[in-house]
């Protein structure tokens, strides 16, 4: 054995030392539990300590130019420490707080199991109520005013679908792991960025342990753990673009998504009509919630990601790129438009009944000739169309994180076999070539498509934080010459005589774009005769400046009629607002607040 | 093969095995009691998590019993280097908890490398000491200190993980004592300690974070109470004392659930236990720990080789130091350094590393007879 002779001896000594250590602990336990036991038991029972939570200020949300979108506001609550409550105070307390005695009794009874933790009696007090209660507080032992951190939304309903709102935790949320450290009464993000980044914005609540006298008045501070403020967030959105565009919507339903073409940062995000998050912040009254949730205009629907619309003529951008890239057309090949073509017993019309005459690709895009693109569709076949639409981000989620996103639909032969158990007809190719029929897209997909066309074919995932690293989803791999030809035509749509998007022509910058009119009902009639709900949806996708794009967007106005007249002006205003110098934007923000 | 298996089962150290499981089950019950939320429908799931960690811990224990512990001496150097790298990674990229960086994220799990480092440190030190023929001389002492102890100590102080760094030092000295020191070396250690005390103290003090300074002040005089730093200790003493002889009864304690007692399910779990089970219960718990530690010392005596001896000693000292510092702190006779009570405090990494350590102890005892080749 390598062990030395004296080792066991040493181990025995160590054992004695350890046993002595145990003896010391035992003596100390005896001292505390037996000798001082009854005294310490008394202290523990009549504990005069109160643990008061101190809410953490929430991080402030800024736009990309450092303009604050929210502020923290105090939210006052009257609370009671059940252990200190005297039951003969019930009637006067109910009068003070304007609650019925039954309500009050019920609340106190529920809280009695944790007698030293304050329980909420009434929330959302006004300053007047607070001072009224504070003045009479000494008559009601155990009654305290607690302060919670709540939000004021500086731009009201502007950007509300994006910024979101705060609310109390639902019972389900209270059980979730992510809210474990959150006091059950606290406000947490329930929508938009407030919800998405709740953890970051939330901070960590602090604690004050105070000793109180028999009347519950604070004698001294025993321990203080200051709250840690949540982190501020700088969003990628531009509040000037956002608010000018929302104004331009004039209350019509629809959506707008604006992106930075080379990064995917979201510059603007509208789902109209929106809601006023300040109403939620006040703890929305149930009647008001009903009003919001039953409103036939669906203000709580996140249209930008959850509504799907046929893209109409905006889809011709994809058709043009696919046609050129696949070599089925060239920029000089021409088609004769006589106002429609016949196929079998069917007639497919052009929107201009008289026809466009002989058109090249450029004019076909500028004037949005349907017949030209029926021909392109016939040459490509639906599967090629499907392939190119997917290359530019349509037909699948964009990966935006603002909520559950719809996928849209880009049909293919395989899809029809599986979904409809039927064969594909050439006639259907015609219809889908001009963005009608099965094909459907969400506004955010159209923005991604426009943005990738503007940047030469790269699809980025839309991101919401300023300066977040670009997330390239894929590259379409279409030659720069092709992209330039199509972009030049899109410039013509706005800037050339006869262009369908002429309304968007701007003196501030060169805008390129494409109009679209998505049919709501199958047969086209004169829009003036139709009641509004049968009117077509208006699309406009745009980017600017044409030679070095800084912003790309999609605008959709539900039942707006023609894209050129209803949606294009909104895009123009949004783009012009984005081009304003920063000082000007700050000034606009000051005026609005 | 079969012969060895039979011997393993015959010689298995059931006492250590059962003791750590009993203490851990008591721990889970106490975590449940400490984190329960009176009057609320939703209960804290921490005790379930701890139970899952207990199951993982048992697997870890079995794994570390299954092979001959001699293997540990062979991997000691690479394991030590890997451990140091992990500690460095914590400094560079760790998560912050309570003003200190101790956590590393591994996908969804966060863990504290310092918990595992203690065991790796003990293995390394055992390997080194077991290779020495005689008692430790001055030069060897310096070499061990510079090569094995100094770097991790600095890394741990930097985190700052005051508790673990002190524990590492204490384990180092007690393992030296077990091995034996030459008289000259003892004199040198004592002289160096006395001379460097003011310097070290000064460096330590300025290097401490405010909360650590406060803890030391509070230990010296809890009643001084500048901004309530003696609060922890006072509340812990009230909790323990109010247990009296037989305790308030399971789930009847008030100090923990009403949140008067901070860190109630981690560092101060002994106070919650003593409040509910009283002097009688605490006595039983002390006996369990005493059993574990004395059994460990007996394993030191019985180990078949020097490496096993040093390893068993290191692990037993580690359990002892943790136990005494933690319980001493809740009783107000030791300063509040944030170290957990082994097998009882809430914390997955710590429980797993303690079970693995217990597995190594069992391994050494089970293979105490030299095998025939």
Ramachandran quadrant class, A408 (left: phi over 0; alpha: psi -120 to 50; beta: rest): left
Q: Do B333 and A2 touch (CB under 8 A)?
A: no
Chain A closest-CA separation from residue B248 CA (Å): 10
Residue A228 has pLDDT above 70, yes or no: yes
Rounded to the nearest 10 degrees, the angle between the axes of helix A413-420 and helix A382-391 is: 100
Residue A58 has pLDDT above 90, yes or no: yes
Q: How far apart are CA A77 and CA A183, in angstroms?
A: 14
Chain A closest-CA separation from residue B106 CA (Å): 18
Ramachandran quadrant class, A285 (left: phi over 0; alpha: psi -120 to 50; beta: rest): beta
Chain A contact for B274 (CB, 8 A cutoff): yes
> Could you check whether the bond before residue A545 is cis, i.e. omega within 30 degrees of 0?
yes
Chain B contact for A33 (CB, 8 A cutoff): yes
Q: How high is the mean pLDDT of chain B?
A: 83
What is residue B199's predicted lDDT score, i.e. its pLDDT? 60
Mean pLDDT of A501-506: 92
Chain A closest-CA separation from residue B82 CA (Å): 30
The enclosing H or E element of A540 equals: strand A537-544
pLDDT, tens digit, for every residue of A392-417? Answer: 999 999 999 888 899 999 999 999 99
What is residue A215's predicted lDDT score, i.e. its pLDDT? 60
What is residue B3's predicted lDDT score, i.e. its pLDDT? 47
Enumerate residues 6+ apart whose C-beta is below 8 A from B21: B54, B58
pLDDT, tens digit, for every residue of B103-160? Answer: 666 555 567 788 889 999 999 999 999 988 888 888 888 888 888 888 888 888 777 7
- Which stretch of A189-198, A456-465, A478-487, A525-534 has the lowest confidence by average pLDDT? A525-534
Q: Which residue of A has its CA nearest to B279?
A: A33
Chain B contact for A21 (CB, 8 A cutoff): yes
> Could you check whether the bond before residue B259 is cis, i.e. omega within 30 degrees of 0?
no
Q: Do A32 and B240 touch (CB under 8 A)?
A: yes
Give B241's contacts in chain A (Cβ within 8 Å): 32-33, 36-37, 39-41, 44
Question: Do B244 and A41 contact (CB within 8 A), yes or no?
Answer: yes
Question: Do A359 and A372 contact (CB within 8 A), yes or no?
Answer: yes
Q: How high is the mean pLDDT of chain A?
A: 87
Residue spans per domain, chain A: 50-86+94-225, 250-273+302-592
What is residue A528's predicted lDDT score, i.e. its pLDDT? 47
Q: Do B331 and A39 touch (CB under 8 A)?
A: no
Mean pLDDT of B17-30: 96
Q: Quote the Cα angle for A478-A480-A485, to 5°.
A: 100
Chain A contact for B211 (CB, 8 A cutoff): no
Higher pLDDT, A207 or A489: A489
Chain B contact for A423 (CB, 8 A cutoff): no
Q: Which CATH class is domain A50-86+94-225?
A: alpha beta
Domain A250-273+302-592 = CATH 3.30.365.10? no
Residue B102: pLDDT band with limits 50, 70, 90 = low
Pair type for strands A472-475 and A512-518: unpaired
Mean pLDDT of A118-125: 86
- Which stretch of A340-344, A384-388, B212-216, B233-237 has the lowest confidence by average pLDDT? B212-216
Question: Dihedral sign, CA of B324, B328, B330, B331?
Answer: positive
Q: Is residue A575 classed exposed, middle or buried when 0-12, 13-18 and 19+ CB atoms within 10 A define those classes?
A: buried
Chain B closest-CA separation from residue A44 CA (Å): 6
Burial A473-510 (b: 16+ CB within 10 A, else e): beebebeeebbebbbebbbbbbbbeebbbbbbbbeeee
Q: How far apart are CA A69 and CA A155, in angstroms?
A: 6
Percent of chain A scoring above 90 in pLDDT: 50
B286 vs A22, A37, A117: nearest CB: A22
Residue A3 has pLDDT above 50, yes or no: no
Q: How far apart are CA A105 and CA A52, in angstroms?
A: 23
Comparing C-alpha atoms, which of B335, B5, B279 is closest to residue A25?
Answer: B279
Question: Hey, how many other C-beta atoms are within 10 angstroms of the C-beta on A141?
Answer: 19
Question: Hey, how many other C-beta atoms are within 10 angstroms of the C-beta on A20?
Answer: 10
Give A114's contacts in chain B (Cβ within 8 Å): 37-40, 257-258
Comparing C-alpha atoms, which of A499, A561, A501, A566 is closest to residue A526?
Answer: A561
- Which stretch of A118-127, A265-274, A409-418, A422-431 has the lowest confidence by average pLDDT? A118-127
Say what the ipTM of the complex is: 0.88
Residue B79 has pLDDT above 90, yes or no: yes
What is residue B373's predicted lDDT score, i.e. its pLDDT? 41
Question: Hey, how many other C-beta atoms are within 10 angstroms of the C-beta on A392?
Answer: 25
Q: How far apart are CA A129 and CA A133, in angstroms?
A: 6
Mean pLDDT of A308-326: 95
Mean pLDDT of B1-7: 55
A10 vs B180, B231, B245: nearest CB: B180
Enumerate residues 6+ apart whose C-beta is below 8 A from A519: A310, A312, A436, A536
What is residue B2's predicted lDDT score, i.e. its pLDDT? 42
Comparing C-alpha atoms, which of B237, B236, B327 is closest to residue B286?
Answer: B327
Q: Do A224 and B227 touch (CB under 8 A)?
A: yes
Chain A contact for B320 (CB, 8 A cutoff): yes
Which residues of A are designated catalytic? 313
Mean pLDDT of A260-280: 90
- Which stretch of A215-224, B201-210, B269-278 has the lowest confidence by average pLDDT? B201-210
């Amino acid at each position: 054995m390598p062990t030395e002779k004296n080792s066991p001896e040493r181990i025995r000594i160590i054992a004695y030392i350890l046993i002595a250590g145990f003896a010391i602990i035992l003596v100390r336990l005896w001292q505390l539990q037996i000798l001082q036991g009854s005294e310490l038991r008394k202290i523990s029972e009549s504990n005069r300590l109160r643990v008061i939570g101190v809410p953490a200020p929430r991080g402030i949300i800024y736009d990309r130019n450092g303009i604050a979108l929210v502020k923290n506001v105090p939210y006052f609550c009257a609370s009671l420490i059940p252990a200190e409550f005297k039951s003969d105070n019930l009637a006067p307390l109910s009068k003070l707080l304007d609650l019925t005695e039954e309500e009050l009794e019920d609340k106190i009874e529920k809280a009695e199991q944790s007698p030293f933790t304050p329980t909420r009696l009434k929330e959302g007090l006004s300053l007047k109520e607070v001072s009224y209660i504070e003045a009479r507080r000494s008559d009601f032992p155990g009654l305290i005013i607690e302060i919670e951190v709540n939000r004021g939304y500086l731009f009201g309903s502007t950007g509300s679908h994006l910024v979101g709102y705060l609310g109390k935790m639902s019972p389900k949320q209270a059980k979730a792991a992510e809210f474990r450290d959150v006091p059950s009464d606290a406000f947490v993000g329930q929508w938009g960025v407030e919800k998405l980044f709740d953890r970051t914005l939330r901070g960590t609540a602090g604690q004050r342990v105070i000793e109180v006298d028999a009347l519950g008045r604070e004698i001294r501070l025993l321990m203080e753990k200051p709250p840690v403020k949540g982190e501020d967030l700088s969003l990628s959105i531009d509040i000037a673009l956002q608010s000018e565009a929302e104004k331009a919507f004039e209350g019509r339903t629809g959506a707008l998504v604006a992106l930075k073409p080379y990064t995917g940062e979201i510059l603007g995000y509208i789902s109209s009509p929106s809601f006023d998050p300040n109403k939620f912040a006040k703890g929305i009254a149930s009647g008001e919630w009903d009003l919001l949730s039953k409103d036939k205009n669906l203000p709580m629907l996140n249209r930008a990601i959850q509504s799907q619309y046929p893209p109409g003529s905006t889809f011709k951008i994809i058709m043009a790129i696919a046609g050129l890239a696949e070599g089925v057309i060239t920029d000089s090949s021409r088609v004769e438009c006589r106002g429609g073509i016949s196929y079998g017993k069917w007639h497919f019309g052009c929107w201009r009944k008289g026809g466009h005459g002989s058109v090249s690709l450029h004019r076909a895009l500028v004037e949005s000739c349907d017949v030209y693109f029926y021909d392109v569709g016939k040459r490509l076949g639906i599967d090629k169309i499907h392939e190119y639409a997917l290359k530019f981000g349509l037909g699948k989620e964009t990966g935006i994180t603002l909520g559950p996103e719809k996928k849209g639909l880009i049909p293919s032969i395989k899809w029809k076999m599986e979904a409809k158990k039927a064969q594909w007809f050439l006639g259907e190719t015609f219809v889908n070539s001009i963005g009608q029929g099965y094909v459907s897209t969400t506004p955010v997909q159209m923005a991604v498509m426009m943005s990738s066309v503007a940047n030469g074919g790269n699809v980025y995932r839309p991101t919401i934080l300023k300066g977040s690293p670009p997330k390239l989803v894929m590259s379409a791999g279409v030659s720069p010459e092709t992209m330039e030809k199509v972009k030049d035509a899109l410039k013509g749509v706005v800037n050339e005589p006869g262009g369908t998007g002429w309304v968007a022509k701007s003196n501030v910058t060169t805008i390129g774009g494409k109009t679209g009119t998505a049919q709501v009902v199958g047969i086209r009639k004169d829009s003036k005769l139709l009641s509004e709900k049968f009117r077509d949806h208006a699309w406009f996708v745009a980017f600017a400046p044409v030679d070095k794009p800084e912003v790309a967007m999609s605008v959709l106005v539900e039942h707006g009629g023609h894209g050129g007249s209803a949606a294009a002006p909104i895009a123009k205003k949004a783009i012009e607002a984005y081009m304003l110098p920063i000082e000007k934007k700050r000034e606009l923000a000051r005026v609005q607040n | 093969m079969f012969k060895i298996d039979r011997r393993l089962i015959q010689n298995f150290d059931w006492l250590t095995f059962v003791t750590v499981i009993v203490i851990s089950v008591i721990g889970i019950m106490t975590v449940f009691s400490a984190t329960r939320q009176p009057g609320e429908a939703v209960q804290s799931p921490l005790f379930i998590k701890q139970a899952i960690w207990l199951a993982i811990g048992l697997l870890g224990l079995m794994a570390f019993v299954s092979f001959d512990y001699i293997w540990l001496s062979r991997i000691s150097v690479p394991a030590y280097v890997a451990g140091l790298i992990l500690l460095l990674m914590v400094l560079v990229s760790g998560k912050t908890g309570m003003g200190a960086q101790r956590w590393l994220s591994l996908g969804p799990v966060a863990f504290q490398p310092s918990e595992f480092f203690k065991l790796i440190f003990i293995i390394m030190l055992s390997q080194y000491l077991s290779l020495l023929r005689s008692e430790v001389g001055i030069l060897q002492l310096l070499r061990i200190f510079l090569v094995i102890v100094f770097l991790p100590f600095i890394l741990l102080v930097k985190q700052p993980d005051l508790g673990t760094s002190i524990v590492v030092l204490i384990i180092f000295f007690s393992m030296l004592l077990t091995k034996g020191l030459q008289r000259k070396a003892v004199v040198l250690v004592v002289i160096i300690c006395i001379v460097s005390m003011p310097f070290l103290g000064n460096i330590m003090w300025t290097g401490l974070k405010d909360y650590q300074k406060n803890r030391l002040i509070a230990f010296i005089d809890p009643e001084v109470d500048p901004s309530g730093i003696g609060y922890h200790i006072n509340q812990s003493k009230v909790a323990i004392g109010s247990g009296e002889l037989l305790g308030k009864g399971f789930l009847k304690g008030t100090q923990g659930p009403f949140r008067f007692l901070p860190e109630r399910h981690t560092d101060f779990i002994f106070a919650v236990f003593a409040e509910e089970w009283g002097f009688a219960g605490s006595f039983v718990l002390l006996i369990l720990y005493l059993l574990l530690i004395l059994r460990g010392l007996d394993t030191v005596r019985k180990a078949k080789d020097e490496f096993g001896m040093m390893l068993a000693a290191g692990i037993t000292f580690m359990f002892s130091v943790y136990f005494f510092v933690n319980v001493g702190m809740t009783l107000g006779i030791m300063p509040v350094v944030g170290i957990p009570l082994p097998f009882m405090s809430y914390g997955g990494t710590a429980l797993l590393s303690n079970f693995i350590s217990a597995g190594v102890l069992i391994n050494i005892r089970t293979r105490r007879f030299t095998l025939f080749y």
